[in-house]
Structure 1
Amino acid sequence: MSFWGNTLAKLFEDHRRQLVAMVVRRVRDREIAAELVQDVYARLMQSGDCGAEEANTKVLYASVRNAVIDHHRSTYGRTQAMNGILPSQLWLCETTSPQEHAESRQALSALDRALLELSPKAREMFILHRVDGIPNTKLAKKYGISVSAVEKQLARTMRHCQERLAAYRNDD
């Protein structure tokens, strides 16, 4: 391991508990907190030494705080995307006419076709999350990926479905 690698490993050994605790207070999830801190460690390994130990420690804490801010921003964006498709966009609970019922069924068919364009894994993940209500942490464990990767995949799937529904509606 390089000098910087040794220095950073020592810094993380000394500060990891405090960093994770700081992130847990902000994101309210220990797994995500540990993942964010680990991501910062990986990024700092690539960036290099800042000089004195005090400067490296300040960079470490600032990087973790920035990672929390980035996490909140991306989570907000994904939440907005996930809320983009509402049941009311697909069908009406009580249709007032046979035509509205037919239009709702056609929109549902368009969504089904959009889901079939996805990979089987992406489709299954989306259905497990949106239909069965499986949380992201359980999906991450099921597929052996990070929670962040699950959130990103769900957001990509949601954008794909939204684009296909928008195209369907514009074709009318």
Structure 2
Amino acid sequence: MANRRIGDRETADEIVQDVYARLLLSGDHGTDEENVKVLYASVRNAVIDHHRSTAGRTGLMRRILPIQLWQREASSPHDHAQSRQALSALDRALLELSPKAREMFVLHRVDGVSNAKLAQKYGISVSAVEKQLARTMRHCQQRLEAYRDTD
């Protein structure tokens, strides 16, 4: 069920494992049938939560880089200067991050490495990768606020 709704087997497996572990810690909920119902309901809710959090992070990531940093072909000298300033501000913002956060950001945004592969590389969960990328994006967005395209 989770795999079908999420479309990413690794993420779905992680969600199901997290839910199962939490349910094991919370104890028995009655009969086997009732336990299965609780498990399915919990997984369904976790999938919904995952979609909500992913949508928020995706929106955040879409708002920051392309428009702010790369100039259009027919840009004016003023636009070109603003793009260079924004790129410098991004460089400074990235230098304020830990080396791991900076590397994760570059691997994801520049090299296109998936969250699952980043999780495997750093030995953390996909959720932890998503949260780190979201923190990094918020940090960069705050630093780039002066250079946002308000058109």
TM (norm. structure 2) is 0.89
* Residues 84-116 of structure 1: per-residue CA shift (max 9 Å, x gap): 113221242336433332222111111111111
Amino acid at match of 1:34: D
Larger gyration radius, structure 1 or structure 2: 1
Match of 1:84, SS state, is: helix
Could you say which residue in structure 1 is the equivalent of 2:17?
38
Of 45-54 and 117-126, more deviation after overlay is shown by: 45-54
Q: Is the 8 A contact 1:23 1:33 kept in 2?
A: yes
Amino acid at match of 1:28: G
Of 122-131 and 77-86, more deviation after overlay is shown by: 77-86
Could you say which residue in structure 2 is the equivalent of 1:104?
83
Are residue 49 (structure 1) and residue 28 (structure 2) matched?
Answer: yes
* Residues 57-98 of structure 1: per-residue CA shift (max 9 Å, x gap): 211111111111111111111111111113221242336433
The gaps in structure 2 that reach 5 residues or longer are: none
Query: Distance in 1 between the 2:29 and 2:40 partners?
Result: 13
TM (norm. structure 1) is 0.79
Aligned length in residues:
148
Amino acid at match of 1:32: T
Are residue 87 (structure 1) and residue 66 (structure 2) matched?
Answer: yes
Query: Distance in 2 between the 1:36 and 1:50 partners?
Result: 20
Query: Distance in 2 between the 1:157 and 1:141 partners?
Result: 19
Query: Distance in 1 between the 2:8 and 2:77 partners?
Result: 47
Q: Is the 8 A contact 1:81 1:158 kept in 2?
A: yes
The structural deviation recorded for 1:45 is 2.2
Q: Is the 8 A contact 1:91 1:107 kept in 2?
A: no
User: Residue 38 and residue 107 in structure 1: after superposition, are their counterparts in 2 closer, same or farther (change >3 A)?
Assistant: same
Could you say which residue in structure 2 is the equivalent of 1:27?
6
Amino acid at match of 1:38: Q
Query: Distance in 2 between the 1:134 and 1:119 partners?
Result: 19
Could you say which residue in structure 2 is the equivalent of 1:4?
none
Which protein has greater RCO, CA pairs closer than 8 Å, 6+ apart? 2
Query: Distance in 1 between the 2:75 and 2:60 partners?
Result: 29
The gaps in structure 1 that reach 5 residues or longer are: 1-21
Query: Distance in 2 between the 1:44 and 1:141 partners?
Result: 25
Query: Equivalences for 1:145-156 in 2 at 5 Å?
Result: 145-156=124-135
